[in-house]
């Protein structure tokens, strides 16, 4: 979630920050109950980590569910501790006076199943072996990710959400939600995503996975325990490949160009293959911070779920898949996002409109590529605010 332009973040005492927040746990299933996955496999227990900001109103009509992207987690806003250097991953959008306004809305964000940030995933204990799952963790899908979140919402006393929202894989979950649970959300914000990955998008993810499983330390997924080496090298490479695709050529050019790290020492007597240019050091720094907080097996399972995602699957076409949707939709793409170019959003806009679903679409001019949704952007904020207001009016 690191971005090429640093956001100016609120601090914990800012009036527009949700301040200190706590990550909670929700048990979705406990033995003998089981979660039956999309693949038919069963798993239990399943716990998911979540955070909430603001309060549910007495009508239960102001709840917004935020979905995170590949590398995200439940901590979307505020600070878990006064010592945190940075707030949650979408703090620019969540808080008093922000588009997802904790003074008006009850905002929920949960870590997905398969993740490594508090929810049940490959690094969790497999109760049948007493050891971490590793590769015995079952395959998961985007459909599987939204399921425990639906029950969490009901558990929190919410019958219908005001809105679901997410970017990238988060938007895939938002799409899945409005398709799987028609009538369970008044609106949906679907940012920088696609109804299914193309060969190029699969290829980028797959090379990352290939790097992880080629790392000798990966050890067929069995690397947990303090005595074992983790597949940091493979995960670093996967992250660097991903990171490139999240940025725009323009932003990289502006920030790094061809700048050298140490004053233009281009032709050194001994070649340095990865540490001459600023862009190289940036990518390595980003991947080093990533491997500290992310599990390589989670990366495999989640990126695979993204590649397998196909909202049109089982339908003759996309419009057919969108037939039952009851939510009003806002779709957003970014002009410099070459990972999920605007054509993929437009495809969905057309399929929604064929079904007469009220749909707003905007392609925002931005130089920040795919990651633009994580960056302070006045246009995105105002579009989100407008959309949320219109949903509130309908709800009244």
Q: Among all residues, which ones are annotated catalytic?
A: 168, 337, 370
CB of 135 to a copy of itself, least distance (A): 7
Q: Is 229 in the site for a copy of itself (CB under 8 A)?
A: no
Q: Is 311 in the site for a copy of itself (CB under 8 A)?
A: no
Paired sense of beta strands 125-126 and 63-67, if any: unpaired
Of 9 and 277, CB closest to a copy of itself: 277
Rounded to whole angstroms, the Cα distance separating 46 from 33 reads 10
Contact (Cβ atoms closer than 8 angstroms) between residue 138 and residue 83: no
Rounded to whole angstroms, the Cα distance separating 46 from 34 reads 8
CB of 216 to a copy of itself, least distance (A): 6
Rounded to whole angstroms, the Cα distance separating 16 from 181 reads 32
Q: Is 36 in the site for a copy of itself (CB under 8 A)?
A: no
At residue 17, φ and ψ (nearest 5 deg) are -100, 145
Rounded to whole angstroms, the Cα distance separating 44 from 52 reads 25
Contact (Cβ atoms closer than 8 angstroms) between residue 349 and residue 188: no
CB of 106 to a copy of itself, least distance (A): 34
Task: Fill in the DSSP letter of residue 267.
Answer: S
Q: Is 85 in the site for a copy of itself (CB under 8 A)?
A: no
Choice from 9, 34, 38, 326 touching a copy of itself (CB under 8 A): 38
Choice from 49, 142, 146, 241 touching a copy of itself (CB under 8 A): 241
CB of 324 to a copy of itself, least distance (A): 22
Strands of the 63-67 sheet, one edge to the other: 24-29, 46-53, 106-110, 63-67, 161-167, 185-191, 328-334, 359-364
Q: Is 265 in the site for a copy of itself (CB under 8 A)?
A: no
Contact (Cβ atoms closer than 8 angstroms) between residue 134 and residue 122: yes
Q: Is 270 in the site for a copy of itself (CB under 8 A)?
A: yes
Contact (Cβ atoms closer than 8 angstroms) between residue 71 and residue 294: yes
Kindly indicate which of the ranges 62-70, 87-95, 197-205, 327-335 contains the residues binding a copy of itself, using the contact rule CB under 8 A: 197-205
CB of 47 to a copy of itself, least distance (A): 21
DSSP H helices, 294-377, are 296-308, 318-321, 342-354
CB of 108 to a copy of itself, least distance (A): 28
Kindly indicate which of the ranges 8-16, 58-66, 248-256, 383-391 contains the residues binding a copy of itself, using the contact rule CB under 8 A: 248-256
Q: How many residues bind a copy of itself (CB under 8 A)?
A: 61
| Contact track, a copy of itself, 327-366, x by CB under 8 A | -----------x----------------------------
Q: Which residue has the tokens 């399943």?
A: 46
Choice from 11, 13, 154, 249 touching a copy of itself (CB under 8 A): 249
Token pair listed for 129:
């072996």
Of 283 and 331, CB closest to a copy of itself: 283
Of 139 and 392, CB closest to a copy of itself: 139
Q: Is 300 in the site for a copy of itself (CB under 8 A)?
A: yes
Rounded to whole angstroms, the Cα distance separating 208 from 332 reads 27
Token pair listed for 70:
């590949």
Handedness of CA 54, 374, 335, 143 (dihedral sign): negative
Binding site for a copy of itself (CB under 8 A): 38-41, 135, 138-139, 141, 196-200, 202-204, 206-207, 209-214, 216, 233, 236-237, 240-241, 244, 247, 249, 252-253, 255-258, 266-271, 273-274, 276-280, 283-284, 300-301, 304, 307-308, 310, 338
């Amino acid at each position: 979630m690191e971005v090429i332009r640093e956001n100016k973040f609120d601090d914990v005492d800012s009036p527009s920050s949700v301040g200190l927040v706590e990550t909670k746990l929700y048990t979705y299933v406990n033995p003998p109950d089981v979660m039956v996955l999309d693949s038919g496999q069963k798993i239990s227990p399943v716990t998911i980590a979540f955070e909430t900001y603001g309060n549910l109103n007495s009508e239960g009509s102001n709840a917004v569910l935020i979905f995170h992207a590949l590398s995200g987690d439940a901590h979307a806003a505020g600070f878990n501790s006064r010592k945190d250097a940075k707030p949650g991953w979408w703090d620019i959008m969540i808080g008093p006076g922000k588009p997802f306004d904790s003074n008006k809305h009850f905002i929920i964000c949960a870590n997905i199943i398969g993740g490594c940030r508090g929810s049940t995933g490959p690094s969790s204990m497999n109760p049948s072996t007493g050891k971490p799952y590793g590769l015995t963790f079952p395959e998961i899908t985007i459909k599987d990710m939204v399921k425990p979140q639906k029950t969490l919402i009901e558990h929190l006393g919410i019958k219908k959400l005001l809105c679901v929202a997410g970017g990238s894989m988060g938007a895939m979950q938002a799409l899945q939600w409005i398709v799987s649970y028609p009538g369970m959300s008044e609106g949906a914000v679907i940012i920088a995503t696609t109804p299914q990955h193309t060969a190029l998008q699969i290829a980028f993810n797959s090379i990352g996975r290939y790097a992880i499983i080629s790392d000798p330390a990966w050890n067929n997924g069995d690397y947990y325990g303090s005595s074992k080496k983790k597949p940091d090298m493979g995960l670093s490479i996967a992250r660097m490949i991903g990171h490139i695709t999240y940025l725009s050529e323009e932003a990289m050019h502006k920030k790094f160009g061809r700048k050298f790290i140490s004053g233009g020492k281009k032709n050194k007597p001994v070649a340095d293959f990865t540490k001459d240019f600023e862009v190289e050091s940036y990518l390595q720094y980003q991947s080093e911070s990533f491997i500290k907080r992310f599990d390589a097996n989670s990366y495999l399972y989640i990126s695979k779920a993204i590649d397998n995602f196909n909202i049109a699957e089982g339908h003759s076409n996309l419009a057919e898949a969108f037939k039952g949707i009851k939510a009003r939709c806002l779709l957003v793409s970014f002009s410099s996002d070459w990972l999920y170019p605007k054509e993929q959003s437009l495809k969905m806009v057309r399929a929604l409109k064929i079904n007469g679903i009220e749909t707003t679409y905007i392609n925002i001019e931005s130089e920040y590529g795919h990651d633009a949704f994580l960056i302070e952007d006045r246009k995105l904020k105002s579009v989100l605010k407008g959309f949320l207001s219109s949903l509130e009016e309908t709800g009244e």
